[in-house]
């Protein structure tokens, strides 16, 4: 029972990140759904993530031009 406020605080703190991920996923759904069956599998998500890696923290999003 003592952990309930802590768990609630953690869930509320993580909610914005989960919400931000959901619209991003919705925007990319058609390109992730490789077999066009209207459902995403773990394999489809893994393949899409492998093909579209996130830039590492601190790295420029685009190559720096001289």
- pLDDT at position 59: 62
DSSP, collapsed to helix, strand or coil, labels residue 2 as coil
DSSP structure string for 13-63: HHHHHHHHHHHHHHHHHHHH-TT-SS---HHHHHHHHHHSPPPPTTS-SSP
Going from N- to C-terminal start, the domains of the chain cover 18-51
- When pLDDT is averaged across residues 3-32 and rounded to a whole number, the result is 75
18-56 confidence digits (pLDDT tens): 667 777 778 889 999 999 999 989 999 899 989 988 777
pTM of the model: 0.51
Q: What is the DSSP letter of 1?
A: -
Kindly state the helix (H) or strand (E) to which residue 12 belongs, with its residue range.
helix 4-32
Is the pLDDT score of 1 beyond 70? no
- pLDDT at position 55: 76
């Amino acid at each position: 029972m003592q952990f309930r406020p802590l768990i609630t605080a953690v869930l509320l703190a993580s909610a914005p990140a989960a919400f931000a991920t959901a619209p991003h996923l919705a925007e990319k759904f058609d390109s992730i759904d490789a077999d066009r069956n209207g459902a995403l599998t773990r394999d489809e998500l893994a393949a899409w993530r492998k093909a579209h890696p996130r830039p590492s923290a601190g790295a420029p999003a685009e190559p720096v031009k001289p």
